Amino acid sequence: MLAAISVAATAIYWWIDHRRGHADPNAGADAKPISLRGIRNFGAAYWYLLVLCVLWYSVIFAFRSTFSIKYFQHAHGLTLAAAGSINAWVFLAALFATPAFGWLCDRIGRYAPMLAFGALLLPIAIASMALSHGTLWVGTVLIGISFSLVPAVMWPLTAKIVPEAYLGTALGLMWVVQNAGMAGANLVAGWLNDAYGASAQNPAGYDPMMWYFFLSSALGFAFAMMLWRVAGRRHHEAATHGW
């Protein structure tokens, strides 16, 4: 049903776009050809953002979408229903919180600090879940905020730090490396669980996986701070462009 709705929405979008008529043939006159030299000139801020994108998405999707259910069951003793329920709240909250955070960023115009704050919450959440033997709601709430805040800031920020003529290339590159990172993170986390015998009978076997997720997300936060530092050095430009 959801797939059918997606197809219908695509058809409606095509119809609306078709009604607008043909694009202005001169609209792309100022576009620049793609070149490796142009990509190298994206600037440090973009590359910091790209690394953060890879690390953050790799951790949050590998953990929440692949390993969290079994981890909650084996390491924290939750039932399958309870583990699925607590995992679902992260994505449900994002439906409402992401546009709210996007609106807030536009209002205050401080993209880099908010991105760093969102990135910081992920390693804290992972550590909270790994070290706590009690409730998982603290870590879940922190991951939920991070999952809502980081994408709401990251993608609009890309449009602010990359020249418009190269924006499509910049976004495409981020999507490619993001998906490569998620694939790699799943393979590494799965290998760690197998190597250390993670199971309900050996919940400590999940510790290396959680260390891997913690260190990866902490490294992502470090790159978010470097991005913020670049924004600080470019204070006047940041004030002009709102980041």
Residue 54 CB partners (closer than 8 Å, separation 6+)? 177, 178, 180, 181
By the 8 A CB rule, do 86 and 72 touch?
A: yes
pLDDT of residue 233: 57
Taking 50 as the threshold, does the pLDDT of residue 236 lie above it?
Answer: no
- For residues 38-63, give the mean pLDDT: 88
Q: Give, as one character, the DSSP assignment of residue 242.
A: T
Q: How distant, in Å, are the alpha carbons of 54, 153, 154, 182 from that of 176?
A: 9, 19, 15, 10
Return the higher-pLDDT residue of 10 and 54. 54
By the 8 A CB rule, do 82 and 135 touch?
A: no
- For residues 107-123, give the mean pLDDT: 88
- Give this prediction's pTM: 0.82
pLDDT of residue 189: 97
pLDDT of residue 150: 92
Burial of 174 by CB count in 10 Å (0-12 exposed, 13-18 middle, 19+ buried)?
A: buried
CATH superfamily of 51-234: MFS general substrate transporter like domains (1.20.1250.20)
Q: How distant, in Å, are the alpha carbons of 65, 67, 191, 195, 207 from that of 202?
A: 22, 15, 15, 12, 10
Q: How distant, in Å, are the alpha carbons of 5, 12, 15, 239 from that of 19?
A: 21, 11, 6, 39
Q: What is the pLDDT of residues 51-98, one digit of tens each?
A: 999 999 999 999 988 899 999 999 999 999 988 888 887 777 777 777
Return the higher-pLDDT residue of 214 and 238. 214
| Domain extents in the chain | 51-234
**pLDDT tier at 243 (50, 70, 90 boundaries)?**
low
Q: What is the pLDDT of residues 167-225, one digit of tens each?
A: 888 899 999 999 999 999 999 999 999 999 999 999 999 999 999 999 999 999 999 99
pLDDT of residue 238: 46
Q: What is the pLDDT of residues 129-162, one digit of tens each?
A: 999 877 788 888 889 889 888 988 898 888 888 8
Residue 80 CB partners (closer than 8 Å, separation 6+)? 69, 73
pLDDT of residue 235: 43
Return the higher-pLDDT residue of 235 and 222. 222
Burial of 87 by CB count in 10 Å (0-12 exposed, 13-18 middle, 19+ buried)?
A: buried
6-20, 32-46, 114-128, 223-237: least confidently modelled range: 32-46
Tokens in use for 156?
């609009």
Q: Which run of H or E residues covers position 156?
A: helix 137-161
